[in-house]
Amino acid sequence: MSDKGKNENQDNRVEEMVALAEKHGIRLQSEEVEINESGMDFLVAFAVDTDGVKWVLRKPRRSDVLERADNEHRVLKLLQQQLPVAVPDWRVYTPELIAYPLLNGIPAAGINVEVRNYEFNMDHENPPPQFVDSLAQALVALHSIDHDAAREAGLRVKSPAEARETLAHNMEKVKKEIGVSEELWERWQKWIADDSYWPTHSVLVHGDLHPPHIIIDEQQRVTGLLDWTEAEVTNPGTDFVLYCAVFGEERLAEFLTRYEEAGGRVWPRMKDHIVEQLTTYPVLLGLFALTSGDKEVMNMARAALGVAEA
């Protein structure tokens, strides 16, 4: 697309968001609307209203994201005042628009759409103690939330066995419908079958804890967590997988120590379990490709699963 075409498309997106917001009682300054195209599920706008309040607006890209948005809405209602960090306060929640005041701080990283990689706003090679400690404390609080309260709020609650069975089922589905390399499949099956890797408890997890969803302040302390669409009570290793992917196994070990010191529940092979769980990330990618029908995501999934066409 030419620069002219890109600018026209951007202008159309801005006009669309301004009109949607006004329909729901939010009067935006059109010159203060910034569109972010990086999200796969939502078109996002950062904007300022006529009273100077900063907003985040999310427009669903597809109808299939609405079920997860409904889950996120229930999660956020449960979490208000429960965590030592902020979570979004949805002031507008309809099938066509979600809107909430912008949380203070900045994401630990943004996403460069062109190169499909992170642009960090923190020291990601050597995460500072204040980042590690504040994130550990936030996760301990989240993972301590009562399962009955989560169930009453309408969230999915899986026992340790059910979480394990769900992953095994998803592996089978992706293998059948997309394919997976023999080496990766054998590794997964060895891990799934070995009880020594697995936890005997479940916790309420965020479910998608990558850097753009972690809000930090100027001292790199974690002050907020975004995007709770994948939250459920399930395998506690889930909230450490992306930390391992971003910061590495050595940093993961340090983080688990801080998590335990803050009151988090660990088990003997927790680190090993998380390292193995990281190898199943292509399963999530494959499921998303099947659900969304996105050809580019499907190509990424096939490559990650080791079955890309030569």
Q: How far apart are CA 141 and CA 283, in angstroms?
A: 28
Q: Token pair of 246, please?
A: 């971003």
Please give the distance of CA 305 from its chain centroid, rounded to a whole number: 21
- φ and ψ of 297, to 5 deg: -65, -40
| 146 is a catalytic site residue | no
Catalytic hit among 11, 148, 195, 208:
208
- Token pair 């709770």 is found at 228
Residue reference for tokens 């935006």:
28
Four-CA torsion 116, 47, 216, 70, nearest 10 degrees: -80
What whole-number distance in Å separates Cα of residue 266 and Cα of residue 279?
20
CB 188: neighbour CB atoms within 10 A? 21
C-alpha to C-alpha distance for 118 and 127, rounded to whole angstroms:
15
Give the chain's radius of gyration (CA, Å). 20
Other C-beta atoms within 10 Å of 95: how many?
Answer: 10
Assess contact for 103 and 224: CB atoms under 8 A.
yes
H or E element at residue 120 = strand 117-120
Which residues are designated catalytic? Answer: 208
